[in-house]
Amino acid sequence: MHQAARVSDAGTVAAIEATHDGAHEADVAAECLAAMTKAGCAPAAFGPFIRPQNRIAEEHTTWGQGQCRHAERVMLELTGCVARYHASMGRLVYIGTVRDEDAIMAKLASSAFAALMDGLKPGGQARDVYDAWHRLVAETGLRREAVTPEGLCDTDLAPRHRLGGAAPSPEQKKSPAHQNRAQVISRSTSNDF
């Protein structure tokens, strides 16, 4: 599993580095697959799934013919495979600056993941792990769909008052400070576990 996780790390880093304004989905996938293969990946059960903003809601679909665009999100999901053991990873990448409410949701997702990990105990039941996650999400007042057990968030499902105010105005989104750097939400690796 650790070897498969290292393969996932290599693919994730390569995919993130290949994601930029104008990048074609197929090019991001090619870089991801090349890095995973060089790291020792066998043919995996799925992916990589590369979904830019216009297809972000299409869960578990591979790359398409589209392009990544500035100020948009790109969902990356992949799995490294070594000796048929798989280690999946998902990352939400921003081309430009992360919206304030998304940064807050990233912290919540990280806390929710920590709650999941705390719920894992020898002899425990799956419902105990789910309940640990669900309690944390319920305490925030967010709808359950806003944060998934995998830690992925959709701030469009979250009430604005729970995220510290309104979304940035169109003028704020156009400012150079809001547009000039690519960021990744919740960038953990296999070494974090």
Residues 12 and 78 in one domain: yes
What are the pLDDT digits (tens) for 49-100?
999 999 988 888 999 999 999 999 999 999 999 999 999 999 989 998 888 8
Q: Report residue 161: phi and psi, to 5°.
A: -65, -25
The reported pTM is 0.68
Residues 90 and 127 in one domain: no
Residues 138 and 186 in one domain: no
Residue 174 in domain: no
| Gap between the Cα atoms of 103 and 89, Å rounded | 19
The band of 128, judged by pLDDT with boundaries at 50, 70 and 90, is confident
Coil, helix or strand at residue 93:
strand
Residues 83 and 153 in one domain: no
Residues 94 and 109 in one domain: no
The band of 10, judged by pLDDT with boundaries at 50, 70 and 90, is very high
Question: Amino acid identity of 124?
Answer: G
Residues 39 and 85 in one domain: yes
Specify the higher pLDDT residue, 23 or 102: 23
